Amino acid sequence: MKVGIDMGTTMTAGAAGTPAMLDLEELLATRLLVQGNSGSGKSHLLRRLVEQSARWVQQAIIDPEGDFVTLAERFGHIVVDADEHTEAALQSVAARVRQHRVSVVLNLEGLDAEMQMRHAAAFLGGLFDADRDHWYPMLVVVDEAQLFAPSAAGEVSDEARKVSLGAMTNLMCRGRKRGLAGVIATQRLAKLAKNVAAEASNFLMGRTFLDIDMARAADLLGMERRTAEMFRDLERGHFIALGPAMSRRPLPLRIGAVETQGRAGSPKLMPLPDTPLEDARELIFKPGEPEPPRMPVRRPSTSASADLLAQLSRPRPFVEPAAPDEPVIAPPAEEPETADQAAERQAAYEAVLGEVLADPEAPYRSIAVLYQDFLVRCRSRDVRGELLELPAFRRKLAAARAGAGQGTEENPAWEKATQVAGTLPEDIQVVFLLLARAALDHLPCPSDADVARACGSRSRGRARRLLTYMEQRGFIATRGGLGNTRSIVLPALGWETALGDPNADDTPESPGGDDLFASV
């Protein structure tokens, strides 16, 4: 079914005032990029598009400023306040959004830039990893896309930038087959990652002033660079459209009116109050009713540097200040750790790691968060957790998620498996160890749910894609059996799991000895 969306009126000579129609079905297949400086009318354009298509297609809006929450009352969008949910919870919410075909606004207002990136990535990941049965058409609108897909590293951590950029890349590059149509808006093309912008086939270019942005806009529209300065002359709400969903040639248009308004709105001039100078001074400096102290509120960030956490958790010896004429006496050197003390510390590590992994949400948290939890628990036990550095913690965590206990680590065969896993990419090491543990103990092949949980996801589809990737790279080989069962061979080790059902449910709470996720 072909549905035309009225975006406004055209401004071409001889045809000015005719409706500017956008083919919604074509848009779902080819995606859209909107560019314009602040105040050019990008948010107005997005609001027009969302309002006109609301009754035809499911929508999800990534809203960093809380500007689109006003759609809820008029068009029935559900507002999801990101600061009230964990990243894992947002993944589950996104999966249910796709399942029940509900239009939503993800309100990221109130979070700092890094937490916005993480929460948006989690939500987009949940949309992307939805089961195949729920791949209904969906318009995914991302305002201020340069925040979530930056072209260069900024003040946020590399981990946050990586997950956010990966989610945006999946949306624009691989989302079409899953029914996801990305509509991204940015103030500056130069700040938006090129591999994200390049996947859009439809463009709406608004007013911009910087030479580099005008040049990129002209390139995307197939215009000569000497004509790029026309973007400086565009009025607010005027855009140049190009793409199969609107026009095969650059088409000037003016965006039409909208039914809802953002909470902030456009700034309007208004006269200052006629307050005498002394009265104004008293209003400012004289306290009125008892006021609570105003302190800056900082939301906890889950991306704090693990190295910094280790330094902060390291106890510092107290040095008594010396008298002015007395030399400073250095603290005594620490005695070397004995073998018994090292063994006792390792046992404490195992116990603390078991407590960390006992949390049901632990499989879905980042390494940095788990390491922070580990260090805090070690300090409460008076154990020097910083001696287990982040790379070693990552390896120990991967082995624990694979179900390896202390007795397993003493097995030479398991030591060989960990050495082979160390040569693989980090994101598949835990899955490789999970399969190796099952093969070593002659257990049934882990199910897709087991594999998904091991790599920190609830999506069986992601687990199947990961196993396919490993098989394509020659890390594993899959053999089918009777009754839709399978076994997996590890060529580097020469091991093979027993036959198992890939569709079986995982049982993380099972207390039995065969639980691949038993805590260490």
Q: Is-contact 180 129, C-beta < 8 A?
A: no
DSSP conformation class of 421: H
Give the per-residue pLDDT at 127.
93
Q: Characterize the bridge pairing of strands 247-255 and 238-243.
A: antiparallel
Give the per-residue pLDDT at 490.
92
Q: Is-contact 502 487, C-beta < 8 A?
A: no
Q: What percent of the chain has pLDDT over 70?
A: 83
Give the per-residue pLDDT at 455.
74
* Residue matched to tokens 């396919």: 468
- Dihedral, CA atoms, 446, 447, 452, 454, nearest 10 degrees? -20
Distance CA 489, CA 350 (A): 30
Q: Is-contact 463 457, C-beta < 8 A?
A: yes
Distance CA 450, CA 98 (A): 23
Indicate the residue type of 196.
Answer: V
Question: Comparing 145-159, 287-301, 475-489, which segment has the lowest mean pLDDT?
Answer: 287-301
Distance CA 131, CA 154 (A): 34
Other Cβ atoms within 10 Å of 169 Cβ, number: 16
Q: How far apart are the first and last CA of the chain?
A: 56
Give the per-residue pLDDT at 517.
39
Domain ranges of the chain: 4-255, 339-496
Average per-residue pLDDT for the chain: 80
More confident residue, 403 or 150: 150
Binning pLDDT at 50, 70 and 90, where does residue 33 land? very high
Other Cβ atoms within 10 Å of 164 Cβ, number: 25
Distances (CA, A) of 380 to 335, 372, 383: 22, 13, 8
Q: Is 191 exposed, middle or buried (0-12, 13-18, 19+ CB in 10 A)?
A: middle
* Residue matched to tokens 């749910």: 449
Binning pLDDT at 50, 70 and 90, where does residue 512 land? very low
Question: Is the confidence at residue 263, as pLDDT, over 70?
Answer: no
Q: What is the pLDDT averaged over residues 374-394?
A: 78
Q: For residue 497, how many C-alpha atoms fall within 13 Å in the half-sphere facing its CB?
A: 28
Q: What is the pLDDT averaged over residues 211-225?
A: 76
* Residue matched to tokens 């940015």: 186
Give the per-residue pLDDT at 497.
92
Question: Is the confidence at residue 24, as pLDDT, over 80?
Answer: yes
Alpha helices in 179-252 (DSSP H): 194-197, 211-221
Distances (CA, A) of 226 to 190, 203, 231, 252, 346: 19, 19, 11, 18, 68
Question: Is the confidence at residue 183, as pLDDT, over 90?
Answer: yes
More confident residue, 514 or 444: 444
Question: Is the confidence at residue 266, as pLDDT, over 80?
Answer: no
Question: Is the confidence at residue 317, as pLDDT, over 70?
Answer: no
Q: Which residue, among 186, 152, 149, has the nearest Cα to 38 in the 3D structure?
A: 186
For 92-117, how does the pLDDT look when each residue is reduced to its tens digit (9 = 90+)?
A: 999 999 999 999 999 998 888 889 99
Question: Is the confidence at residue 189, as pLDDT, over 60?
Answer: yes
Q: Is-contact 57 103, C-beta < 8 A?
A: no
- R_g (Cα) of the chain, nearest Å: 28
Give the per-residue pLDDT at 513.
38
For 47-82, how does the pLDDT look when each residue is reduced to its tens digit (9 = 90+)?
A: 999 999 999 999 999 999 888 998 988 898 999 999
Helices 339-358 and 367-380 cross at an angle (nearest 10°) of 120
DSSP conformation class of 372: H
Question: Is the confidence at residue 134, as pLDDT, over 50?
Answer: yes
Q: Which residues contact 136 (CB under 8 A, 6 or more apart)?
A: 58, 98, 101, 179
Question: Comparing 241-250, 309-318, 430-439, which segment has the lowest mean pLDDT?
Answer: 309-318
Give the per-residue pLDDT at 48.
93
Question: Comparing 108-112, 122-126, 177-181, 424-428, which segment has the lowest mean pLDDT?
Answer: 424-428
Binning pLDDT at 50, 70 and 90, where does residue 516 land? very low
Indicate the residue type of 221.
Answer: L
Distance CA 228, CA 217 (A): 8
Question: Is the confidence at residue 84, as pLDDT, over 60?
Answer: yes
Q: What percent of the chain has pLDDT over 90?
A: 23
Instruction: Please tell me the total number of residues recorded for the chain in this structure.
Output: 520
Phi, psi of 192 (to 5 degrees): -95, 135
For 219-229, how does the pLDDT look when each residue is reduced to its tens digit (9 = 90+)?
A: 777 777 667 77
- Say which CATH superfamily domain 4-255 falls into: P-loop containing nucleotide triphosphate hydrolases (3.40.50.300)
Q: Which residue, among 69, 73, 24, 71, has the nearest Cα to 183 in the 3D structure?
A: 24
Distances (CA, A) of 155 to 108, 114, 144: 18, 9, 17
For 425-476, how does the pLDDT look when each residue is reduced to its tens digit (9 = 90+)?
A: 777 888 888 898 889 888 899 998 888 887 777 788 888 888 988 888 888 9
Q: Characterize the bridge pairing of strands 495-496 and 78-81.
A: unpaired
For 323-355, how does the pLDDT look when each residue is reduced to its tens digit (9 = 90+)?
A: 555 565 555 666 677 777 778 888 888 888 788
3-state SS class at 35: strand
Question: Comparing 93-102, 254-263, 313-322, which segment has the lowest mean pLDDT?
Answer: 313-322
Q: Which residue, among 494, 482, 444, 445, has the nearest Cα to 467 in the 3D structure?
A: 445
Strand partners, 141: 61, 183
* Residue matched to tokens 């004429």: 325
Binning pLDDT at 50, 70 and 90, where does residue 278 land? confident
Q: Is-contact 313 386, C-beta < 8 A?
A: yes
* Residue matched to tokens 């005032």: 17
Q: What is the pLDDT averaged over residues 471-484?
A: 87
Binning pLDDT at 50, 70 and 90, where does residue 125 land? very high
Question: Comparing 50-54, 233-237, 396-400, 413-417, which segment has the lowest mean pLDDT?
Answer: 396-400
Give the per-residue pLDDT at 487.
92
**What does the block give as tokens for 257?**
């009116």
Give the per-residue pLDDT at 518.
39
Q: Is-contact 34 206, C-beta < 8 A?
A: yes
> DSSP per residue over 116-158, as a string?
HHHHHHHHHHHHHT--GGG---EEEEESSGGGTSBSS--SS-H
* Residue matched to tokens 């190295």: 307
Q: Which helix (H) or strand (E) holds 92?
A: helix 87-100
Give the per-residue pLDDT at 319.
53
